[in-house]
Each structure stands twice: as C-alpha cells, then as structure tokens.
Amino acid sequence: MSKESISKIYLVLEKIEYIENIVANAGSVTNALEDAITMRPAILMHLTAIAEQFNKLKQENATHILDIFDGDDLKGLYDVRTYIAHDYEGVNLAIIEWIIRNGLPVFKEKCQQIIK
C-alpha cells in the first residue's frame, strides 16, 4: 500500500475520532445533532471529509484498500456527502444518526485493520 493511500486512511480515522469527541462532549448523538450552530455542522463537515478521502482512493484505483469495505456502504457514504454538500431537500438527521451509531464504528474498525 502506498504512503498516500495509508495517509488517507489515517485521515478517515482522525475524522471519525473528531465526530466521536463531538458526540461525547454533547452527551449523546441526539444532543450533538440538535446543536445546529456548532456541533451538527462540524459533524457534517467531518462526514464530508471522510467521504472525500474514500473518493480519492477510488480515483487512485486503490482497490486493495477499497475492497476491504462494503461497496454499498461506500456508495451510501458518498451519497450522504452529496446531500450534505448540496443540501438537497435538507439532510435527514435520522440517517446521520444511524451513520454515527452504526456505520462509523464499522469504518473505524476496518481502517484500524488496514493500518496494523
């Protein structure tokens, strides 16, 4: 694996940890997402950044990394990024909450496996 590809995985882990810290400081995912001024925008930007790193890996044809992740999960993450970036009919916070609770732990685990 190239150093550039691995650095993208480290950045994904960093962004996931930022989201985890935001949620911890808010006391819950729900509280964090209810804060429309600071916490929610920060979470959405970190999710966007995570999706961008996976998109860059795709553009680099880093299939040796991308194959570790479920293709539908990656597509879903990028679709959410598109909705966040373009605010198509608003962002469904229930989906964002599901991603934080269920999706990010899976991505985190797989990223940690890659860098081991």
The 3-state DSSP class for residue 67 equals: coil
pLDDT of 55: 95
Q: pTM for the whole thing?
A: 0.92
Digitized pLDDT (tens) for each residue of the chain, 116 residues in all: 688 899 999 999 999 999 999 999 999 999 999 999 999 999 999 999 999 999 999 999 999 999 999 999 999 999 999 888 887 567 899 999 999 999 999 999 999 999 98
Q: Are 18 and 12 in contact (CB under 8 A)?
A: no
Alpha helices in 3-38 (DSSP H): 3-26, 29-34
Q: Are 55 and 82 in contact (CB under 8 A)?
A: no
pLDDT of 89: 66
Backbone conformation region of residue 2, classed left if phi is above 0, alpha if psi is from -120 to 50, else beta: beta
Q: DSSP label at 68?
A: T
